[in-house]
Amino acid sequence: MADRIDLMSTLKKIGVLTSGGDAPGMNAAIRAVVRSSIFYKYECFAIHKGYQGLIDGELTPMTPRSVNNIVNKGGTFLKSARCLEFRTQEGRKKAYRTVQKFELDALVVIGGDGSFTGAMIFQKEWNVPVIGIPGTIDNDISGTQFTLGYDTALNTVIDAIDKIRDTASSHNRLFFVEVMGRDAGHIALNAGVGAGAEEILIPEEDMGLERLLDSLKKSEKSGKSSSIVVVAEGDKTGDNVFEIASYVEKNMPYYDVRVSVLGHMQRGGSPSCFDRVLASRMGVFAVESLRNGDSNVMVGIKNDKMVLSPLEKAIKGTSKINKELIRVSDILSI
């Protein structure tokens, strides 16, 4: 449940951290949290290395100048981690001692669903007001249409696939390109349509190897000499992209098949303008929401409006893929 608390009178110090997998736009969000906190006359503390820094007391007081020249930088200058110790009661107790020591009145957590689960438990156990900013390239958090880093990652993927297309077509090759998305196919689906992929394999839809073969055979008959199949990391068609590729190669020996796993390059790079603006809006809105007494919520964007939703919903809900894109892809890949 989202909480409304009497923060207005007590709020003086806000801590901000980044946690989980990094995402382009996290720095812009930190900058927005720091500057808007100070704009509203609060003190702001940067917590280093995610929840580990909260446990170890690695905090630095921030000024507006501490976040100079980072709006355009990928990664997170506060560093990020998936912290096992914070999953234990003992770890969270140590973290609470830091909150007491620095007299923090609220935390802003920039991260994905794992980070929000930690935030929610911490809030329940120790009654520390928290607010989440969704930062993950996977776009797999409910309560927001877009997460930080997703747009940049899409542009990175499109750029990479465009380059693969050049070599695929020069050599008449069939490429399987694996993109990130452990549990969600948003990157694969959108980048697949944007890059003109032949087929897109995502965890949300089980295509099956036979249908994939049929489709590739049809394309080959229709005169295509090279093709790109985009495979989400979490797709369940085979054990992994290499298994899918070798199955296709065995059944279509006339195709020269190659696999390209894009990997962590998708998480890096300068954030797109969209992500910088989104991060700036989310950071300001997070501080303004704390100011209004909201806690245990995540900020999000829906139809270009900033919205709040309970952290619980953000964690448990699923962000549905856009099925319209599957139809569009099927029509355009004839």
Q: Which residues bind ligand F6P (CB under 6 A)?
A: 21, 112, 136-138, 180-182, 233, 267
* Shortest distance (Å) from residue 201 CB to ligand F6P: 15
Angle at 321 between CA 71 and CA 189, to 5 degrees: 75
229 and 213 in contact (C-beta within 8 Å)?
Answer: no
State the catalytic residue, choosing from 113, 138, 275, 294.
138
| Residue 133 or 257 having the CB closest to ligand F6P | 133
Nearest alpha carbon to residue 38 among 78, 56, 65, 60: 65
Residue with tokens 């390109």: 177
Amino acid present at 205: E
| Residue 99 or 119 having the CB closest to ligand F6P | 119
- Judge whether 3 counts as a catalytic residue: no
CA–CA gap between residue 14 and residue 229 (Å, rounded): 46
* Shortest distance (Å) from residue 135 CB to ligand F6P: 10
Pairing of strands 3-4, 294-295: antiparallel
| Residue 118 or 181 having the CB closest to ligand F6P | 181
| Residue 50 or 181 having the CB closest to ligand F6P | 181
* Shortest distance (Å) from residue 259 CB to ligand F6P: 17
| Residue 224 or 236 having the CB closest to ligand F6P | 236
The answer for 260, left when phi > 0, alpha when psi is -120 to 50, beta otherwise, is: beta
Rg (CA), the chain: 22
Nearest alpha carbon to residue 299 among 148, 190, 151, 184: 148
Give the DSSP per-residue string, 27-76. HHHHHHHHHHHHHTT-EEEEETTTHHHHHHT-EEE--GGGGTT-TT--S-
Give the active site residues: 138
